[in-house]
Amino acid sequence: MQFTSDIVEKAVDALSSFPGIGKRTALRMVMYLLKRPELEVASISERILRLKTDLKFCRNCGTVSDFEYCSICSDPQRQKEVICVVEDFSDLMAIEATSQFKGEYHVLGGLISPMDGIGPSDLNLQSLFERISNSEGGISEVILALSATVEGDTTMYYIAKKLQEFGVTVSSIARGISVGGELEYVDEITLGRSLLQRTHYSV
């Protein structure tokens, strides 16, 4: 793709670095931005920058938040005794879209993957165990809602083994999800049914 402007080329390169965005799509986005008022483009740029400068992580569950505690953990209507463990924020949003879960979450920030050099200490796991321990029996169930992949299964096994000492019920979402599928791409009906039909996870 030949460019007549180095500025446009660099903008296309930047946008095409996003997942699922190719050069042609990035070029269309750049052309759209060129036609918009300068203040609007500046506003878009500022909002993206705030993702790195102003965004926080909830001190309770680890999800992204505007404040010290996220809106879910701050909601008195949520069931505090049930925790749903997910890989990242996008999986949390996918489950919330089903309207089938009324408990709280815990975001790991990844999955155990020895091939990629990611171990338990690289994830938001210790805070999960401390959260359960500090609840003094207030947490009765931990739902493992992780992707049906080798990494997901490895992480579930590790968590379930560690949770044996806490005496909580450990369950996993029903495997209506295809093996190898990523949780965030599953349709809402399948994901909602998987939550409602969750099964006990034994080690």
Give me the pLDDT at residue 176, please. Answer: 67
Positive or negative CA dihedral for 169, 173, 174, 180?
negative
Instruction: Verify that 25 and 65 share a domain, yes or no.
Output: no
Q: What number is the average pLDDT over the span 159-173?
A: 93
Domain boundary among the residues 14, 30, 53 is at 53
The DSSP H or E segment spanning 57 is strand 56-57
What residues make up the domain containing 43? Answer: 6-53
Whole-model pTM?
0.79
Q: Tens of pLDDT along 115-129? A: 999 999 999 999 999
3-state SS assignment for residue 177: coil
| Start-to-end C-alpha separation, the chain | 54
Instruction: Verify that 31 and 63 share a domain, yes or no.
Output: no
CATH number (domain holding residue 171): 3.40.1360.10
Within a domain: residue 185? yes
Instruction: Verify that 40 and 65 share a domain, yes or no.
Output: no
Instruction: Verify that 101 and 154 share a domain, yes or no.
Output: yes
* CA nearest to 108, candidates 97, 130, 127, 123: 123
Give the count of domains, the chain. 2
Q: How many CB atoms lie within 10 A of CB 61?
A: 24
Q: Tens of pLDDT along 79-111? A: 999 999 999 999 999 999 999 999 999 999 999
Query: Helix H segments across 70-182?
Result: 89-96, 126-134, 150-163
Q: Which of 16-30, 51-65, 91-105, 136-150 has the lowest mean pLDDT?
A: 136-150
Mean pLDDT score of the chain = 92
Instruction: Verify that 114 and 36 share a domain, yes or no.
Output: no
Instruction: Verify that 148 and 68 share a domain, yes or no.
Output: yes
Within a domain: residue 76? yes
Instruction: Verify that 12 and 80 share a domain, yes or no.
Output: no
CATH number (domain holding residue 15): 1.10.8.420
By the 8 A CB rule, do 2 and 17 touch? no
Q: What number is the average pLDDT over the span 18-25?
A: 95
Which of 3-7, 112-116, 135-139 has the highest average model confidence (pLDDT)?
Answer: 112-116
Q: Convert 180-196 to b/e letters by CB count within 10 Å (16 or more is b).
A: eebbbebeeeebbbbbe
Instruction: Verify that 162 and 102 share a domain, yes or no.
Output: yes
Instruction: Verify that 159 and 79 share a domain, yes or no.
Output: yes
Question: Token digits for 129?
Answer: 């165990």
Within a domain: residue 1? no
